[in-house]
A and B are shown apart, each in its own frame.
Chain A
Amino acid sequence: MNSQQRAELNLKMERLVDGDRQAFEFVFNTTWPLVYRLARKTVMKEIDAEDIAQQALMKVFSRSQEFEKGRDALSWILGVTAFECRTLRQKYRRRKERLSHIEEFDQMAATDHAAEESLIKKNLISTIQEIISELSPQDQESILASLENIKKPEHSGATYRKRLQRAMDRLKEKWRDRHE
């Protein structure tokens, strides 16, 4: 921005503070690129920069009545924008930190859930092992053979199925006794 444009901005800004609405167009068109460029330099991400620039611009216009005549308008605008950019950047950073804390908490909750499930599973297995150990060796052999999908060759299919069914009935009975 050259000195002539700068002087015109001073003049228009003073007119705007006095209530001349015709000066608004010039001040807006001159201010927006400056504010955007400054926000872009302050913030790394383009989306954040645009968001911050818009909010900073709103701040410039909502604080326009605080502008004192005789001051340099460009310095004043950049001062307000820089302060606003810094405040907003801090706010964004805090929000992102809060979000990352929430994500960490979610991960911890998911880990806890998985640990609980594995504990339940472990308890069930140990209980079933206990119950199986209380059965007769013949029943134990039949159940384990069915679990591992091994058929004993000395028994015919029907005998084995009958023996397995009896062993399972006794297992269910013992399970029921334990949990009722």
Chain B
Amino acid sequence: MNNTLKNQARNAYEIARLKMASAYGLLVIPLILISCFTCGEIKYPLMIGSILFSSVVLLKWRGLEYGQSVMPGLVAGAASFIVPLVLDYLDICCEGNLQIVLCSISGLLGGLILGRLTMNQGNKNLKKVALAIIIAGLTLTLGCASLGISAVAGLFTALAIGAISYISIKSKA
């Protein structure tokens, strides 16, 4: 009886975690909608958005350092997400590969925010930082999706550089 009860309790616990993780996943939906309406394209925002949604739900459900990486990633990504969107909307970034530079700047900004948030959490686990960079990168890609693959690559690189530099500087200080 005790084993059956234990299994039922475990199932109840896992379902509760999945519900909680899905609630975090809902945070991604406004970003996808903004991206769809601003970029003038639906395919890329939906594709990247669904990857981001699944990643957020999966990581939050898994918990521990995986779950802890979600919020800094999402916040850092969302904070600098608006930069490429505004640039794209104003049509000022598509001359002379300016979009790569601008996306890199927003990536760097996201990286610094991410580094600060991770430092505030206290735990500087490498796995957690890497996962947070991926989440922030995916969030930022929603904003840069219409600017091309080179812009997205620049963004990811700048994001990683920004986050790692901030963490290493603060750790030494």
Contacts and interface: CB of A to CB of B under 8 A. Distances in A.
B67 A24 contact: no
B5 A64 contact: no
Interface residues of B, number: 20
A166 interface: no
Contacts of A54: 5, 8
Contact of B64 (A18, A57, A58, A63): A18
B5 A62 contact: no
B17 interface: yes
Contact of A58 (B2, B9, B66, B68): B9
Which of B13, B19, B20, B64 has the largest number of chain A CB atoms within 10 A?
A: B13
Contacts of B2: 32
A64 B16 contact: yes
B67 A18 contact: yes
B63 A24 contact: no
B12 interface: yes
Main secondary structure of the interface of B (DSSP, over half): helix
A79 interface: no
B62 interface: yes
A8 interface: no
A20 B65 CA distance: 10
Interface of A: 16, 18-20, 24, 28, 32, 54, 57-58, 61-65
Given A16-B13, A24-B10, 16 more contacts: A18-B63, A18-B67, A19-B61, A19-B62, A19-B64, A19-B66, A19-B67, A20-B64, A28-B9, A32-B5, A54-B8, A58-B8, A58-B9, A62-B13, A65-B16, A65-B19
24 contacts: A16-B13, A18-B63, A18-B67, A18-B68, A19-B63, A19-B64, A24-B9, A24-B10, A24-B13, A28-B10, A32-B2, A54-B8, A57-B9, A58-B12, A61-B10, A61-B12, A62-B12, A62-B13, A62-B16, A63-B16, A64-B13, A65-B16, A65-B17, A65-B20
